[in-house]
Amino acid sequence: MTTVLGCIADDFTGATDLAGLLARSGVRVSLRIGVPDSPPTETAAFEVIALKSRTAPVDEAVDETRAALTWLQAAGAQRFFWKYCSTFDSTPEGNIGPVAEALMADLGCDQTIYCPAFPENGRAIFMGNLFVGRQPLAESPMKDHPLTPMRDSNLMRLLSPQVSRPVGLADRLTVARGPEALRAALGELQAQGVAHVVVDAVANEDLSVIAEACRDMVLMTGGSAVAMPLPALYLADGTLSADAPKAERPTVDAKTIVLSGSCSAMTNAQVADYTRRGAPAYQLDPLALAENGPQPALDWLAGQDLGAAPLIYATANPESVRAAQEKLGVAGAGEIVEATLSACAVAARDAGARRVIVAGGETSGAVTKALGVSQLDIGTEIAPGVPWTYCHSDGQQIALTLKSGNFGSETFFTDAQAKLEAA
């Protein structure tokens, strides 16, 4: 069918996060890993293209995103959504602003919004400042992110160095007055030449107001949650047909592998919970990997019962991460871990694992590529923004979940397995 909304995400977990929220509508959502090589055929109403561009050089990120836009336009999409992290993971030299401006230029639009709020996961924006729970972004654990340390909470200050046109704010007081008031405020800012508008949101009700006010924008940008109300709006006005194809769930074997490369505070808690429950677990040390390679981890995996859902993890506290980065470099430490976890994913699949749980955006990108996955259909949601997905790898039907480091509760790894059994 013709694609109603074309979405582009800057990492793989972000793409599944967005796809999972759109799939709450019950309508089929298709997620593509990278820009497809072939022209669009048999597309879904909601198409999401996952890139691995969050920390890529700006020119590379812009080129990849523009290629994704071209494919989605060929699929019939006339409205587009640029998805980035709900903690706005981007340094002053980062990609969010340059990518948005490139998309705006290609689409011929003079204004877009920025709303990474996700109240269900504790992300709120007030007076342009992003909060993680009750903490300003720059005081949250995100201040120590190994790739994009967030040292400022103000989204306008973060965005301004990245763009060439003025940045403005539509604050919570405006949003609270409803869609018409927000639409009018955006029009006033546009008349003043403001092209980039940060929009406050502290609750799901705010997201509904923003989606209603901005539904006809050619381009919206933000975290996944602000796109969540769009399917219902499209169904209500006939943009999306009520008989659009629904999601289907295949059956997969219960053998499981859990792989964690994220070092976020939440993933640390999730690993601790899972190991406390007695799950078989093997911790990767980047320095040992640099010296000995992945074989010890692969040997350990070969001796495990995949019915017990073993865990292989590089998750560590910020001090340990910094120590490894000082010796191997930031990129080097990450690449060694990603390569090892990717090799473990392939080995587990070849040994019969048909359920793969992955924590961490960079890790998810590496594992998905190693498994040769090019398209996923979105299934049941495990936690807000984290669904199970279904795909094929080396001719095998597998279930795959890609979790952003900060998402999910402490019991996520156990919850994911229970949710798939109950679906």
**What pLDDT is attached to residue 411?**
97
Domains, the chain, in order of start with CATH, read 5-237 (3.40.50.10840), 256-422 (3.40.980.20)
Average pLDDT over residues 65-72: 98
Helices (H), 29-146: 58-74, 96-107
Q: Is the pTM of this model over 0.85?
A: no
Q: Are 389 and 376 in contact (CB under 8 A)?
A: yes
Q: Give the whole-angstrom CA distance, residue 176 versus residue 174.
A: 5
Q: How far is CA 285 from the centre of its chain?
A: 26
Residue 137 has a CB neighbour count (10 Å cut-off) of 23
The model's pLDDT over 271-289, given as tens digits with 9 standing for 90+, comes to 999 999 999 999 998 888 8
Q: Give the whole-angstrom CA distance, residue 246 versus residue 51.
A: 25
Most confident of 294-308, 351-365, 384-398: 294-308
Q: Encoding tokens for residue 164?
A: 């060439």
pLDDT band at 247 (very low <50, low <70, confident <90, very high): low
The model's pLDDT over 109-122, given as tens digits with 9 standing for 90+, comes to 999 999 999 998 89
Amino acid of residue 143: K
**What pLDDT is attached to residue 143?**
81
Q: How far is CA 403 from the centre of its chain?
A: 8
Torsion region of 4: left, alpha or beta (phi above 0 gives left; psi -120 to 50 gives alpha): alpha
301 phi and psi angles, rounded to 5 deg = -60, -40
Q: How far is CA 273 from the centre of its chain?
A: 23
Q: Give the whole-angstrom CA distance, residue 130 versus residue 126.
A: 7
Angle among Cα 4, 246, 18 to the nearest 5 degrees reads 55
* Residues in contact with 59: Cβ distance below 8 Å, sequence separation at least 6, in sequence order: none
244 pLDDT above the threshold of 70: no
Mean pLDDT of all residues belonging to the chain: 91
Percentage of the chain with pLDDT > 70? 97
**What pLDDT is attached to residue 159?**
95
**Strands 29-33 and 375-383: what pairing?**
antiparallel
Q: Give the whole-angstrom CA distance, residue 422 versus residue 20.
A: 17
Element (H, E) at 365: helix 361-370
**Strands 135-136 and 355-359: what pairing?**
unpaired
